[in-house]
Amino acid sequence: MAEALALPSSSASMRIEGLRLFRHLAGLTQRELARRVGVNPSTISDLERGRMSPRLSTARRLLQVLRAPSVEALFPDPPPNGRPRKTRSSKKG
């Protein structure tokens, strides 16, 4: 599992882990990571906040871009209430 990184903020320390940690270590913004992975920046935000789970293709691309050792390193927390996280549906054409 990835180590948590504490970064100082104006009011208190913020704990960073998983996808956000690897993104920070790579020096990427959400927008830049989204561009490299081929998704919308809001997808990166939702993934970091645990609002959704990535599609398999997105998870693979995140692993490549961030050079993470495993999906578990990017997404260390189980889904809330034991329920699967939402996934983005494919665009209707």
The one-letter code for the residue type at 3 is E
- Supply the DSSP symbol for 67: T
Classify residue 20: in a domain, yes or no.
Answer: yes
Confidence of residue 75 (pLDDT cuts 50, 70, 90): confident
Classify residue 86: in a domain, yes or no.
Answer: no
Classify residue 82: in a domain, yes or no.
Answer: no
More confident residue, 77 or 83: 77
CATH number (domain holding residue 53): 1.10.260.40
Classify residue 10: in a domain, yes or no.
Answer: no
Classify residue 80: in a domain, yes or no.
Answer: no
Q: Which residues pair with 6 in a beta bridge?
A: 15
Range of the domain at 40: 16-75
Structure confidence by residue, pLDDT tens digits, 61-72: 999 999 999 988
Classify residue 38: in a domain, yes or no.
Answer: yes
Other CB atoms within a 10 A radius of the CB of residue 22 amount to 23
Domain count within the chain: 1
Confidence of residue 46 (pLDDT cuts 50, 70, 90): very high
CA–centroid distance for 29 within its chain: 12
